[in-house]
Amino acid sequence: METVNDLVEFLADQVFTARTTRPITALALLGQIGLEARGGWDEQFSSYETSLTDVNFRLRIFRRWGSVLSYFRTSNRKRTVPGAEQSTCYLVIYPQGKDGFFLVDQNGVMAQPITREEVILPDKAEEKIWNIKSLNTPLPAVIKLSYEKLDLLQEPKWEHYVYDVLPGHEVTFSTLMD
């Protein structure tokens, strides 16, 4: 039992250390009492706490964690490289005018940056992109796009986690648009 308690304490310390970059994760895992005990409770967390009263909301935030854990569990047994054919295409439109295209594997865990030239989009998707760009949003917009064909220069390496490359991917405020 002592080993389990030591592990829990170690993980809590790791979450506390990352509280500035992942405040909602720290709040959800440590709670106000855990943050106060470590001297890390401040006004930033009290503003999050008022928005986290719904238990279902907290569960949705950690759905991503469950999918990543499942991915790692299955990948340890049998290392299969996801195929690009079953992937989903996303476009990130940044307010600075820069766009980023990404393929997301069928598990929704790993991502691969691609160029605009590597994906053939239908006219409807092009119209959708134009409409979103015309909104001039101050936040990055993430759009899920259907595509006709992929013409990749090389096989995807799947080196990025989805939550690192798609802003707002399954966190508190979603900028994802279907």
Which tokens in the block code for residue 58? Answer: 């907290």
Taking CA atoms, 160 is separated from 1, 18, 84, in Å, by 36, 20, 14
Sign of CA dihedral 171, 68, 55, 28: negative
Opening angle at CA 63, ends 58 and 65, nearest 5: 105
| Contact by Cβ (8 Å): 110, 101 | no
- 136 versus 46: the higher-pLDDT residue is 136
User: What is the model's pTM?
Assistant: 0.54
> pLDDT tens, 80-110?
667 788 899 999 998 888 899 999 988 888 8
Q: How far apart are CA 161 and CA 173, in angstroms?
A: 18
Weakest mean pLDDT among 4-8, 92-96, 144-148: 4-8
User: What percent of the chain shows pLDDT beyond 70?
Assistant: 75
Examine the pLDDT at 130 and tell me if it is beyond 80: yes
DSSP state of 168: T
Which tokens in the block code for residue 164? Answer: 């690192």
